[in-house]
Amino acid sequence: MEKITSLAKRRGFVFQSSEIYGGQGGAWDYGPLGIELKNRIAGAWWKEMTQLHDDIVGLDAAILMHPRTWEASGHVENFTDPLVDCKKCKSRFRADQIPEENLAAKKCPDCGGEMTDTRKFNLMFKTHIGAAEDSASVIYLRPETAQGIYVNYKNIIQSNRMKIPFGIAQIGKAFRNEIVTKNFIFRTCEFEQLEMQYFVKPGSDEEWFNEWRKRRWAYYEKMGVQMDHLRWHQHGPDELAHYAKDAYDIQYLFPMGWRELEGVHNRTDYDLNRHTQYSGKDMQYIDQDGGNERYIPYIIETSAGLTRTLLMILCDAYDEEKVADKGNDDDWRTVLRFHPSLAPITVAVLPLMKKDGLAELAQDIRRELTEDFATDYDQGGAIGRRYRRQDEAGTPFCVTVDYQSKEDGTVTLRFRDSMEQVRIPKEELATRLRQEIKAYKRER
Ligand code: ATP
């Protein structure tokens, strides 16, 4: 993970938040390459969940919600982690994440010092709205995006004439006062979620639950993720959230081991029942095609972290490869094998030399590509070095402009993964790139 963290900083994917002040734990900033990668991951998910499903629509709900929302959802009461502190070294742990023998003996796993009793710690960030800081003005930063969907479900049925089964997708920030935030951007206090809530008729929920498990698994395959690095984990009775009837996590083999990437949950009618109870509003669905039968729908949720997916994509893409045998540092290259549709830069245009009009020709070619592709232009240093810089940024294609280009209008197209080069007329570049992106298959 250190290698990935340092590459992420060096190349402008992710920086520590407020670094000049010593850094803010649990928060990270996404640099020029990071924001491009994040946007592409979000775009791929959005396309998958909305464009490719005519029964799913989008929503962007506010982060600040009426505080009753979180009483209804059970978060005020139940959204807690068990917390223990070491009295000696002052380290803080989640009680469910340290060995049981340490917990039983109240012995710190780091220094052996005495630990406090376990206490419940609510993960919601609380603040105040308005000028008065009294209990009437308490407001929470949302700890999940799901509730914004539930409270709007009737609005969406009415405005968009949705019929069950249907889904609502949302991408947005969520906040949790996490006790332990190590492992880079894996677990942070401010993060983004990719959530889709699918409303179904009670009784059909198990079938839809299985269907969404299948679809979400297929999605990662389509994104080109190494499938032997993914597995399912079913929640045991002691892991199930207060609202869930059944839950499976998709776990990824991160450098620190298997960890949750996405959850697929059968949330039953819990949330809508609670909102009925707390708001006094009728949350029943009226089935006009089924004799006006009324019922509270069951909800199947697919919930992934956007920032956690970004970390997964970085880990999955990271590779070090021996490319020469000269006995020096240049024998090895670091390469990010992003799927071309996710790579922050799709194509870099490099003039072999700055002089003799090559730079101008390369800039013209780049300009022509910018309308359709994310491009970069680099004219500084030896060409081999420039290829390495692009490999490290995960750029799948480089176009090199040389003296022959001036004569016959051809350029070389270099492929990141194989490092092979082909010479093609510059007019064919855009079409060829589109074909290559569509046909991409990761070799290693
Ligand atoms: P964990 O058990 O790891 O705390 P969770 O089961 O509480 O996670 P969910 O509430 O199901 O997580 O959230 C859905 C998804 O949101 C997770 O699969 C994860 O990808 C992402 N996520 C949750 N908490 C965080 C966090 N603190 N930082 C980054 N991503 C998170």
What tens-digit pLDDT sequence spans the chain (444 residues)? Answer: 899 999 999 999 999 999 999 999 999 999 999 999 999 999 999 999 999 999 999 999 999 999 999 999 999 998 988 899 999 998 888 898 899 999 999 999 999 999 999 989 899 999 999 887 777 789 999 999 999 999 999 999 999 999 999 999 999 999 999 988 789 999 999 999 999 999 999 999 999 999 999 999 999 999 999 999 999 999 998 888 878 899 999 999 999 999 999 999 999 999 999 999 999 999 999 999 889 999 999 999 999 999 999 999 999 999 999 888 888 877 889 999 999 999 999 999 999 988 888 999 999 999 999 999 999 999 989 999 999 999 999 999 999 999 999 999 999 999 999 999 999 999 999 999 999 999 999 876
Give nearest CA residue, ligand 1 atom 26. Answer: 187
Query: Domain containing 226: what range?
Result: 2-62+144-314
Within 10 Å of residue 114's Cβ, how many Cβ atoms? 13
Strand partners, 200: 298
Atom of ligand 1 at shortest distance to CA of 188?
A: 28
Residue 167 sits in the same domain as residue 265? yes
Residue 191 sits in the same domain as residue 294? yes
3-state secondary structure of 209: helix
**Which of 14, 260, 266, 311 for a ligand 1 pocket mutation test, highest count of atoms within 8 Å of Cβ?**
260
Q: Give the Å distance between the CA of 305 and the centre of ligand 1.
A: 6
Q: Give the Å distance between the CA of 370 and the centre of ligand 1.
A: 36
Give nearest CA residue, ligand 1 atom 13. Answer: 303
* Paired sense of beta strands 28-30 and 56-58, if any: unpaired
CA gap 4, 13 in Å, rounded: 10
Domain membership of residue 419 (yes or no) is yes
pLDDT of residue 380: 87
Domain membership of residue 88 (yes or no) is no
Domain membership of residue 84 (yes or no) is no
Residue 305 sits in the same domain as residue 384? no
Of 314, 342, 358, which residue is a domain's last? 314
Residue among 304, 311, 314 nearest 219 (CA)? 304
- Find out whether 42 and 306 touch, Cβ atoms under 8 Å: yes
Residue 291 sits in the same domain as residue 172? yes
Residue 174 sits in the same domain as residue 52? yes
* Residues 6+ away with beta carbon under 8 Å from 342: 37, 40, 41, 44, 223, 313
Q: Token pair of 309, please?
A: 């997916």
Atom of ligand 1 at shortest distance to CA of 249?
A: 18
Residue 256 sits in the same domain as residue 357? no
Residue 309 sits in the same domain as residue 332? no
CA gap 186, 175 in Å, rounded: 14
Residue 308 sits in the same domain as residue 342? no
Domain membership of residue 320 (yes or no) is no
pLDDT of residue 328: 81
pLDDT of residue 243: 83
CA gap 84, 77 in Å, rounded: 19
Give nearest CA residue, ligand 1 atom 2. Answer: 260
Residue 56 sits in the same domain as residue 149? yes
Domain membership of residue 395 (yes or no) is yes
Domain membership of residue 75 (yes or no) is no
pLDDT of residue 329: 76
pLDDT of residue 406: 92
Q: Give the Å distance between the CA of 232 and the centre of ligand 1.
A: 15
Q: What is the CATH number of the domain that holds 178?
A: 3.30.930.10
Residues with CB under 6 A from ligand 1: 144, 176, 178, 187-188, 191, 193, 260-263, 303-305, 307-308
Of 253, 288, 314, which residue is a domain's last? 314
When divided into structural domains, the chain yields a total of 2
Domain membership of residue 108 (yes or no) is no
**Which of 191, 192, 240, 258 for a ligand 1 pocket mutation test, highest count of atoms within 8 Å of Cβ?**
191
H or E element in which residue 315 lies: helix 306-317
Name the phi and psi angles at 329, rounded to 5: -60, -30
Q: What is the CATH number of the domain that holds 345?
A: 3.40.50.800
Could you tell me the sign of the dihedral formed by the alpha carbons of 358, 364, 368, 370, in that order?
Answer: positive
Residue 248 sits in the same domain as residue 158? yes
Any idea which residue has 């176009």 for tokens?
399
- Find out whether 283 and 155 touch, Cβ atoms under 8 Å: no
Of 265, 289, 314, which residue is a domain's last? 314
Residue 349 sits in the same domain as residue 428? yes
* 53 secondary structure, DSSP code: -
CA gap 149, 423 in Å, rounded: 51
Domain membership of residue 117 (yes or no) is no
Residue 345 sits in the same domain as residue 204? no
Give how far Cα 21 sits from Cα of 14, 180, 187, 191, Å: 17, 20, 21, 21
* Residues 6+ away with beta carbon under 8 Å from 408: none
